[in-house]
Amino acid sequence: MPALNNLTPFAATDFLSLTKQGEECLVLVVAGSFVLPPAGRSTNAPLAVCEEQLQPATTDTYWGEPEKSSLRYESQSAYTRPGTDVLLHGRAWAPRGRKVTRTQVAVRVGALEKRAVVSGTRVWYRSLVGLSASDALPFESLPLRYEYAFGGTSASGHETRNPVGRGFYASAKEAEEKRLPSIEAPESLVRGWADRPPPCGFGPVARHWQPRLGWAGTYDAAWVEKRAPLWPADFDERSFHAAPEGLRASTLLRSGEPVVLEGLSPDGPLAFTLPTHRLLARCTFAGRRETRRMVLDTVLLEPEERRLVLTWRATFPAHRQLATHEVSTVRVLLPGEDAP
């Protein structure tokens, strides 16, 4: 593997990849972990760097058994990302930890904003007008995972946007005494058992779920015969986005954006600004040296761990030049220092 010289206080890795055009490239990834401030009060102070740095993921990690649970961390295997992903691992909390039957959560990062209504457990029951939703049970907190959002499997198949969720039924008979989703978008609340709202989530969407699967291209006999193992001709780089709808920035965040998290702590909202670190990457090949500023393409919020993880990426063309690679270096730009 290429030699990587990491001069940052963060964790770093590199890997080889192929672009959509089938050209070899070298990808450098830096993951910086920061300490989130206490909930209940805003702060303008820069976030402290964590003593222990979370390493960039090299494999996909699920909350439970793969295929039966949602994705927790996706491996850093993308050679690019069209914009910045914002991801959240956390719990919806009742204010001051006093049990409620319903509450709301909100995530705001710069211009991005996503809200959800979170309810206690409800089931469909037989009433005079057909199936009705039961009253929600009180709860103190609830994990914001796709297992609690609309989706799941039924006698007719599975919900391709979220096969591990709840609320997807083939008939009223199948839905009776079964659970409704607990996490819903305010504008797409479930009113009847046959409703099919978009799953409302905050964590990463697995590659084999829609819409990512649809963006991955066509892997048919023609692909096997003419392009394998390259990306399909109709591959869309949006497939590299792991963030759900509402948390995918169409352009890259620059850092320094304000962040507000509501309903994610019993002690009140969290408010802070993204760290403003600027990172520079340099690759040296025999007879060629290339320098470029790394881009911020993932923001991971983990309020339960009081941790924020920023991921920066830089991709260098290296087609038929990997054997001549000498060293790669990543470092933090000094205040006022110009970047290429």
Residue 256's pLDDT band, with cuts at 50, 70 and 90, is very high
Q: Amino acid letter at 252?
A: L
Q: Amino acid letter at 53?
A: Q
Q: What is the average pLDDT across 145-174?
A: 96
| Whether the Cβ atoms of residue 110 and residue 92 lie closer than 8 Å to each other | no
Nearest to 92 by CA among 78, 103, 107: 103
113, β-bridge pairs: 108
Q: Amino acid letter at 313?
A: R
Q: Amino acid letter at 312?
A: W
Which two structure tokens, joined as six digits, stand for 197? 């709202």
- Does the pLDDT value for residue 87 go beyond 70? yes
Name residues whose C-beta falls within 8 Å of residue 29's C-beta, 6 or more positions apart in sequence. Answer: 12, 13, 14, 15, 56, 76, 311, 312, 313
| Whether the Cβ atoms of residue 269 and residue 93 lie closer than 8 Å to each other | no
| pLDDT in the model for residue 156 | 86
- CA quadruple 74, 79, 80, 81: dihedral, nearest 10: -20
CA 88 to chain CA centroid, nearest Å: 7
130-143 per-position pLDDT tens digit = 899 999 999 999 99
Q: What is the average pLDDT across 55-78?
A: 96
d(CA 289, CA 106): 44
- Does the pLDDT value for residue 314 go beyond 80? yes
Q: Phi first, then psi: give them for residue 322, nearest 5 degrees.
A: -60, -35
Residue 41's pLDDT band, with cuts at 50, 70 and 90, is confident
- Helix (H, G, I), strand (E, B), or coil: what is residue 84? coil
119, β-bridge pairs: 102
- Does the pLDDT value for residue 123 go beyond 70? yes
Q: Amino acid letter at 114?
A: K
**Helix (DSSP H) and strand (DSSP E) numbers for the chain:** 3, 24
pTM of the shown model = 0.96
Question: Would you tell me how many other CB atoms lie within 10 Å of the CB of residue 103?
Answer: 19
| Whether the Cβ atoms of residue 181 and residue 195 lie closer than 8 Å to each other | no
pLDDT higher at 148 or 255:
148
pLDDT > 70 fraction of the chain, expressed in percent and rounded: 99
Mean pLDDT of the chain: 95
d(CA 173, CA 171): 5
| DSSP, res 179 | B
d(CA 263, CA 30): 30
297-309 per-position pLDDT tens digit = 999 999 999 999 9
- Does the pLDDT value for residue 1 go beyond 90? no
- CA quadruple 75, 82, 19, 328: dihedral, nearest 10: -70
| pLDDT in the model for residue 322 | 87
- Does the pLDDT value for residue 238 go beyond 90? yes
d(CA 63, CA 85): 19
Residue 150's pLDDT band, with cuts at 50, 70 and 90, is very high
d(CA 168, CA 165): 8
